[in-house]
Amino acid sequence: MAYIESIKLSNFRNYESLELSFDKGTNIFYGDNAQGKTNILESVYLCGTSKSHKGSKDREIIRFEQDEAHIRMMVGKDSMSYKIDMHLRKNKAKGVAINGLPIKKARELLGVVNLVFFSPEDLNIIKNGPAERRRFIDLELCQLDKVYLHFLTHYNKCLAQRNALLKGTDLSKDAQAMLDVWDAQLIQHGKKIIQLRETFVGEIAPVIAQIYHSLTGGREQLAVSYEPNVSADRFEEILFLNRERELRQKTTLTGPHRDDIRFRVQNIATGQTTDIRTFGSQGQQRSAALALKLAEIEIVKRKVNDTPVLLLDDVLSELDSSRQNYLLDSIHDIQTFITCTGLEEFVRHRFHMDQIYHVERGVVTRVNSLNSETIF
Q: Which of 287, 304, 321 is the last residue of a domain?
A: 304
Q: Which of 304, 323, 355 is the last residue of a domain?
A: 304
User: Are the CB atoms for 295 and 213 separated by under 8 Å?
Assistant: no
| Span 27-51, pLDDT tens digits | 999 999 999 999 999 999 999 999 8
pLDDT-based confidence at residue 108 (cuts at 50, 70, 90): confident
Q: Are residues 299 and 163 in the same domain?
A: yes
Give this prediction's pTM.
0.90
Q: Is the pLDDT of residue 374 over 70?
A: no
Q: Are residues 335 and 293 in the same domain?
A: no
Q: Are residues 209 and 86 in the same domain?
A: no
- DSSP, collapsed to helix, strand or coil, labels residue 227 as strand
Q: Are residues 253 and 266 in the same domain?
A: yes
User: Are the CB atoms for 268 and 220 separated by under 8 Å?
Assistant: yes
The CATH number that applies at residue 34 is: 3.40.50.300
Burial of 310 (0-12, 13-18, 19+ CB in 10 A): buried
Q: Are residues 157 and 298 in the same domain?
A: yes
Q: Are residues 24 and 157 in the same domain?
A: no
Q: Is the pLDDT of residue 228 over 90?
A: yes
Q: Are residues 41 and 155 in the same domain?
A: no
Neighbours of 185 (CB within 10 A): 16
| Over residues 16-28, mean pLDDT | 96
Amino acid identity of residue 374, one-letter, is T
* pLDDT recorded at residue 171: 66
> What are the angstrom distances between the C-alpha of 345 and each of 38, 121, 319, 357?
19, 21, 11, 16
| Span 319-372, pLDDT tens digits | 888 898 899 888 888 999 999 998 887 877 778 889 999 999 999 999 976 655
Q: Is the pLDDT of residue 17 over 90?
A: yes
The CATH number that applies at residue 274 is: 1.20.1050.90
Share of residues in the chain with pLDDT > 70 (%): 97
Q: Are residues 84 and 230 in the same domain?
A: no
Q: Are residues 36 and 88 in the same domain?
A: yes
**Total tally of structural domains belonging to the chain:** 2
| Span 178-222, pLDDT tens digits | 899 999 999 999 999 999 999 999 999 999 999 999 999 999 999
Question: 119 lies in a domain?
Answer: no
* pLDDT recorded at residue 105: 84
Q: Are residues 134 and 267 in the same domain?
A: yes
| Over residues 251-271, mean pLDDT | 96
Residue 307: DSSP 8-state: P
> Domain containing 276: what range?
129-304
Question: 106 lies in a domain?
Answer: yes
Q: Where are the beta strands (DSSP E) in 13-121?
A: 15-21, 26-30, 68-77, 80-89, 92-98, 101-103, 115-118
